[in-house]
């Protein structure tokens, strides 16, 4: 197992900023994780994954964009109350699939803005319409069955639709219609979906949301399973300074710059461990 995999987890706008800051900081230290043989993106990580594999912008350019003042209307709200509600549903679900189905019903019943608006925002953010030449997997959950899928360039699904589906937070954004099904956030199944990196020898997991709950495995738990299967794994979750930078609403665009700076600072903590993994 010699191939490398980069796993980018979900975590809202602050998660995007933190992941980009971390990746940019590591690149400055001479460690470019974006050249991984496989990139797995979930929710916020799907946006970052699509951007870093497109080759349209350098990590430094992406980082500078995170520092820019937010434009447009205020962001959506996903604070502690929503997270607590999701956790309560998870704790009372028998497995990740049943939890996904329950969250799907919640998403379908919620009153949210038009799906076309969110798709347009994602399209502008990505700036690229085509799947990259390198392998990129984007996770989403079927709102009817609760089952997870991983879209890629063989799925016959437009990249912007796959990413919009992966970012469709239940109760915040509407489910995304693709091929007769309606899809919700891939983070419903797992905040990182690192299990999809099974079979890869060197895996780095960058997970803005560190916790699991009930049947939902935490990123570190998934990393430990990969390690037992023979992979060399490093799981990075936010340190205290990063969590403080995120604030109480991960969808608040005014917190994005602070999260990016926190990610860049935190990269120095992990650089040598990752260098050993990535350069073997």
Specify the higher pLDDT residue, 215 or 50.
Answer: 50
Task: Grade residue 88 by pLDDT with cuts at 50, 70 and 90.
Answer: confident
Given a cut of 80, whether residue 145 has pLDDT beyond it is: yes
Residue 102 lies in a domain: no
Rounded to two decimals, the pTM is: 0.94
Residue 116 lies in a domain: yes
Residue 99 lies in a domain: no
> CB of 254 within 8 A of CB of 13?
no
Q: Quote the percentage of the chain above a pLDDT of 90.
A: 74
Given a cut of 60, whether residue 274 has pLDDT beyond it is: yes
Q: Quote the percentage of the chain above a pLDDT of 70.
A: 94
Domain count, the chain: 1
User: Annotated catalytic sites, by residue?
Assistant: 43, 185
- What is the predicted pLDDT for the residue at 221? 96
Q: What is the pLDDT of residues 118-138, one digit of tens each?
A: 888 899 989 877 999 989 999
Report which of 138, 134, 133 is spatially closest to residue 155, judged by C-alpha positions: 138
> CB of 217 within 8 A of CB of 190?
yes
Q: What is the DSSP letter of 229?
A: T
Task: Grade residue 212 by pLDDT with cuts at 50, 70 and 90.
Answer: confident
- What is the predicted pLDDT for the residue at 77? 67
Q: What is the pLDDT of residues 30-84, one digit of tens each?
A: 999 999 999 999 999 999 999 999 988 899 999 999 999 887 665 676 666 667 7
List all residues 6 or more positions away from 71 whose beta carbon is below 8 Å from its beta carbon.
Answer: none
Given a cut of 90, whether residue 280 has pLDDT beyond it is: no
Q: What is the pLDDT of residues 91-119, one digit of tens each?
A: 788 899 998 999 999 899 888 777 678 88
SS3 label, residue 37: coil
Residue 138 lies in a domain: yes
Residue 270 lies in a domain: yes
Residue 43 lies in a domain: yes
- What is the predicted pLDDT for the residue at 73? 60
Report the pLDDT averaged over residues 232-261: 95
- Mean pLDDT taken over the chain: 92
Residue 105 lies in a domain: no
Distance, CA of 125 to CA of 147 (rounded, Å): 27
Report which of 158, 164, 151, 150 is spatially closest to residue 129, judged by C-alpha positions: 158
Q: Which structural domain range is residue 169 located in?
A: 4-74+112-279
Report the pLDDT averaged over residues 234-262: 95
- What is the predicted pLDDT for the residue at 147? 97
Specify the higher pLDDT residue, 87 or 260.
Answer: 260
Q: What is the pLDDT of residues 162-209, one digit of tens each?
A: 999 999 999 889 999 999 999 999 999 999 999 999 999 999 999 999
Return phi, psi of residue 139, to 5°.
-90, 150
């Amino acid at each position: 197992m010699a191939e490398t995999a980069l796993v980018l987890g979900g975590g809202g706008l602050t998660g995007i900023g933190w992941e980009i800051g971390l990746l940019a900081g590591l690149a400055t230290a001479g460690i470019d994780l974006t050249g991984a043989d496989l990139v797995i993106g979930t929710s916020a990580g799907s946006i970052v994954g699509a951007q870093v594999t497109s080759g349209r912008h350098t990590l430094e350019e992406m980082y500078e964009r995170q520092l820019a003042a937010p434009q447009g209307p205020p962001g959506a709200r996903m604070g502690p109350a929503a997270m607590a509600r999701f956790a309560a549903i998870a704790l009372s679900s028998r497995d990740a699939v049943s939890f996904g189905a329950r969250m799907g019903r919640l998403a379908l019943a919620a009153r949210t803005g038009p799906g076309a608006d969110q798709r347009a925002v994602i399209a502008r953010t990505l700036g690229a319409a085509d799947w990259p030449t390198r392998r990129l997997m984007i996770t989403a959950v079927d709102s009817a069955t609760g089952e997870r899928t991983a879209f890629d360039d063989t799925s016959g699904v437009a990249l912007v639709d796959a990413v919009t589906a992966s970012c469709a937070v239940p109760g915040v954004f509407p489910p995304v219609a693709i091929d007769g099904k309606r899809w919700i956030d891939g983070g419903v199944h797992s905040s990182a979906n690192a299990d999809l990196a099974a079979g890869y020898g060197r895996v780095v997991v960058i997970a803005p949301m560190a916790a699991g709950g009930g049947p939902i495995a935490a990123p570190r738990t998934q990393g430990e399973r990969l390690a037992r299967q023979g992979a060399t794994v490093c799981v990075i979750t936010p340190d205290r300074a990063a969590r403080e930078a995120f604030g109480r609403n991960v969808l608040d665009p005014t917190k994005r710059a602070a999260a990016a700076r926190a990610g860049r600072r935190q990269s120095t903590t992990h650089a040598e461990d990752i260098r050993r993994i990535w350069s073997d």
